[in-house]
Structure 1
């Protein structure tokens, strides 16, 4: 996988620049398996590089031909008369290992493997891929792929790819770079973007990511002068430890990263059997991971490339954008504008009506508008007045972005409603964008040339605008690793813990837990004040309510004796094989609100902490906030604000206020499970966590440790 530095990020500096040059702009390339038959896929790279102006040296490798398309061919890489920077390998998978050795001997820094027959075939293929990657590392060669459709540098014409979309007579060079886990989607994005007149810098198909992964590519593109915005098409995340720091570098450099990831509706992921697993599935974890590290995740494929001009133009403004934006909408087609406003509403972005003061201001300038969320100028204004209105909205304080929706005039009379937008775009101060209801290529080109983000569909327009403002909610704070926590020596280091043991671990992290004691039948003395809750305590019974393992409101020793007998009998009946430690007695606690804290090690992006509505109905509410763990106090407060239920303790309709600061510190402490040393924590939960006027207290604890990993 990707090489990382001591801080956990990808290698940068001289190493990165050397890799980038060999990967994107090599001076000498070998095409291993190049065909002389121009109808074959394996003939494409040479044809493409000739067509698009590659000026470096090309060495076709073909064991059966002395010449390929007018160039001298060589029977093997070993037979080359000179060194190479990059090899594109198109031979059957079983031959790749031998080719790798020869490429290393000829000085190749990068080998891109188009060949399949590796991890995508199962265990045997995975073993072959691991062996190939390990050998490449020993040889000092970087691998792209296997199963990669290749890499393209539009500016230099270095096209080491078989993607048919590159048959195009011209490729427009620009500032958009793409990394894709799908080779075919790489071509789809290029063709769709090209049809819109967008120019591209670099495009990479990562294939199986045996070595060079998406994270390292993002890092390389941050340092690429030709790249202004980065698009990612993801099917999964294989290198979260590298991708996260790279995304943060991109944000710091002002290069927005737009992400389209499959899996919004996937139900087949293996989730832990708990409330936390049910609520914090992989896609939610990925979403939280991307948001924390500054990537802009889009909902629609078309938005991925259509939003690029919007993100690029306003990247520097994102930190200052409001979290709850007000959108001003001006239109020459009421129905067309309504389609966008409707979609914005689904994303909780509000189109607002102008205030009376602004209406009067515009009336004094000769433009009459009404106090409605959509300002319709279909019959009410000249082009000059339209321009003036847009300029005045950009300068005003009552809206945070201006959306211009253009009707049929965009198709045949762009000077009427499109030219005013272009002229008004010289005013800077807030995002300005446009949606063209008809198919209007000329108007799109006018807007694009002026740098005005323009959209062909209401869905993509609303998606892009919502994503831009959603990015403003991402904290730009430095990511600082908290001091590690030490696992209590008295506790087990694998398997499920009893509630009593879990409470000990949480208390070690500074999370307040209700006073409790563990007693046994026949020896029920304890110091916990009545009334109490009595619970069965067993590592084998984690969800006690389901087996009748909880009794509340126990008032004295006599009631405790009777409750203990019932609890033990219920355990024997429902879980006869369970090992019972005894009866857990816990002080009954008051509260203003029940919440749930959850922790889970996501298989894609690592430790996650969750805050949600609590109690036995937690799964029904879907009122959840999620962050990569550990979190800061500021992030914890953000999480509290995102859970709707917490409005009940934050001043809603005069209700008593809860101790939000104590809740934030409990979240921070709980999230330090991610840095706990001495045990590998797979999953944990406090449900419910009571929020009170002063302080918080956990009253039900669950903790699962990961099984130890054995070497085979």
Structure 2
């Protein structure tokens, strides 16, 4: 029987009825907890425990089999041992169940035999049009409607509260940990969903599906793999359209393939680096751990679309002022330069020995004069430099009217539309502020790191997307080698409009001499063969040759070495170019995420002393400028020791052309290495190039590409 056509979110959060196959009367067993939770948390639909050994389960009538049910349930929870799961899925498919949540383990995570068993489950479900969560899933939970098909113990430890956050995770334990961290901060969570082995439904699909709910304000994701990047791109685009930020943890990284060692780009940019740039490209903030997510959520939930990075610190502790300023400097959060008028207004409110400059030390005067904070805020209200405020109260209690302070801060936030954060180590101090909807933190570091994160993330979401430009279709020369020769690589790139060094292919030493004479100055001579991708490793690159004897000696060395390697001797001659700096550009077609462009410090030490950044097309000149600003060599472009600045635009134009070339030719080009790329004051030229051909299409999805890299500051 074909399952009814309801949306995935409806099936998981608004099922008219739920069957629990393997239901237990013991509320602490996997088959017992969902029955308990559905009743405990107010699920309004019908619950059908399936247990042939009992007449009743937790006070509900039990059924011997799914076939005996009076209706077809929208959802079935499978809480049986591995071997019985297949028969249960067959029964669900026959009955026309919409979605099955498989809590059972022993499938793909258990080896080849388990993978085959999981594949058979998927075949059964697909034929019936039934969706699968899992197997090896902790389950799903909707705390808005009480559809809690989950066996986590944490829902008893910390009672749920509906809220604007969805937690979607491959790992059940991590979903529960995130739930715990948020609930401990008094943040309500609407959905907690764990996908397990992802035989069918993935984190990406649940992220997209959950956006049907207009009440959601933040999506939190945990992924160990991204099986369907195209769906994640769709989710990210819809989330951006609806103003819902996505924060994600992507755990794990993979080994680089053996072929990557032949490509500088491949050797440097492993899968984890590519995922970094992929997530940035689509406005998803990649968090490093669960605490980073939890500490930033209060700021995301404020709903402010713009939070300024210029900071004012206010405290009744001088040490808190100093430490906050130090950390702000580390995070590149600028301390606001308050105007003279603002400082005068602050000084009028404070004791004569207090500090009116930023950071503002209120001293012990705040004790017994809780209105002091309001006076300081009044002075700051008219100063546009005071974009975000941190109020640190390491000491407060008797003698401090915290409720009054909280009222004053809340009123200031509404009137000024600026963010105020309050930090303290004591929960009792923070509680009055939290009741007023003010973002609270257990310390200044947590507050400032959260502020740094959200301002960078918001800037990332505000950037204008770049647009793909036309590029020619490249016809590569016939051949069986993985790489093109340098000459063929340069020719192909020149046809795409990239500025490459003039070059001549020579097959004899005499031809090399004639090419040198034609050049009329110093030249570079290199071995040239598609069987020899890296000439320098064999000492077959000769620089600054400007005499016939030198040309002959270099040609002889190439000839001897290449013949010993079984390669027909051939050379490429090009003018000896001189410029300001050597860069490297690279590109590779990732099998899952599409083209990735690398910019790096160049030369033969590129892998020994890596200094690189990645971009994902399409991107703009400004995106390249920001990316280069993060390199160690960035000061070179600004001009040092009396040297004029180097124009970034020619380098950016080359990177964009290379990106468009890869997009247009991703079926035939696997990777491109341009190293070195000579950067001059006002121009740029490719001195060496290596194109790796793709003999067949690589497997995997092709994620849509429409955004630009991260903006680091407002």
Q: Secondary structure at the match of 1:351?
A: coil
Is the contact between residue 485 and residue 675 of structure 1 (CA under 8 Å) also seen in structure 2?
no
Pair 1:193–1:668, CA change in 2 (3 A): same
Give the structure 2 partner of residue 431 of structure 1.
419
Matched, 1:600 2:551: no
Pair 1:435–1:678, CA change in 2 (3 A): closer
Is the contact between residue 338 and residue 358 of structure 2 (CA under 8 Å) also seen in structure 1?
yes
1:194 CA displacement: 1.4
Q: How does 1:258-407 map to 2 (within 5 A)?
A: 258-263=247-252, 270=257, 272-273=260-261, 274-317=263-306, 321=308, 325-352=309-336, 354-364=338-348, 370=355, 373-381=358-366, 382-407=369-394
1:377 CA displacement: 1.4
1:456 alignment partner, one of 438, 442, 445? 442
Unmatched 5+ residue regions in structure 2? Answer: 700-714
Q: Secondary structure at the match of 1:425?
A: helix
Unmatched 5+ residue regions in structure 1? Answer: 1-13
1:47 CA displacement: 0.6
Q: Secondary structure at the match of 1:306?
A: helix
Q: Secondary structure at the match of 1:178?
A: strand
Give the structure 1 partner of residue 125 of structure 2.
136
Is the contact between residue 222 and residue 249 of structure 2 (CA under 8 Å) also seen in structure 1?
yes
Pair 1:458–1:615, CA change in 2 (3 A): farther
Give the structure 1 partner of residue 704 of structure 2.
none
- When normalised by structure 2's length, the TM-score is 0.88
Aligned length: 685
Distance across 1 between alignment mates of 2:12 and 2:215: 15
1:581 CA displacement: 5.8
Distance across 1 between alignment mates of 2:281 and 2:639: 28
Q: How does 1:577-616 map to 2 (within 5 A)?
A: 577=565, 579-580=567-568, 582-602=570-590, 605-616=593-604
Give the structure 1 partner of residue 555 of structure 2.
564
Is the contact between residue 404 and residue 421 of structure 1 (CA under 8 Å) also seen in structure 2?
no
1:420 CA displacement: 4.2
2:145 alignment partner, one of 123, 142, 156? 156
Pair 1:508–1:443, CA change in 2 (3 A): farther
Is the contact between residue 23 and residue 50 of structure 2 (CA under 8 Å) also seen in structure 1?
yes
2:431 alignment partner, one of 441, 445, 457? 445
Distance across 2 between alignment mates of 1:411 and 1:645: 54
Is the contact between residue 409 and residue 417 of structure 1 (CA under 8 Å) also seen in structure 2?
no
Is the contact between residue 245 and residue 293 of structure 1 (CA under 8 Å) also seen in structure 2?
no
CA deviation profile, 1:597-630 (whole Å, cap 9, x unmatched): 1223446644321212222343465433222234
Q: Secondary structure at the match of 1:670?
A: helix
Give the structure 2 partner of residue 535 of structure 1.
526
Distance across 2 between alignment mates of 1:297 and 1:337: 30
After superposition, the CA RMSD in angstroms is: 3.0
Distance across 2 between alignment mates of 1:344 and 1:284: 27
Give the structure 1 partner of residue 186 of structure 2.
197
Distance across 1 between alignment mates of 2:21 and 2:233: 34
Distance across 2 between alignment mates of 1:228 and 1:538: 57
Give the structure 1 partner of residue 64 of structure 2.
75
- When normalised by structure 1's length, the TM-score is 0.88
Pair 1:112–1:606, CA change in 2 (3 A): farther
Give the structure 2 partner of residue 546 of structure 1.
537
Distance across 2 between alignment mates of 1:330 and 1:517: 68
Pair 1:113–1:493, CA change in 2 (3 A): farther
Distance across 2 between alignment mates of 1:446 and 1:581: 81
1:445 CA displacement: 3.1
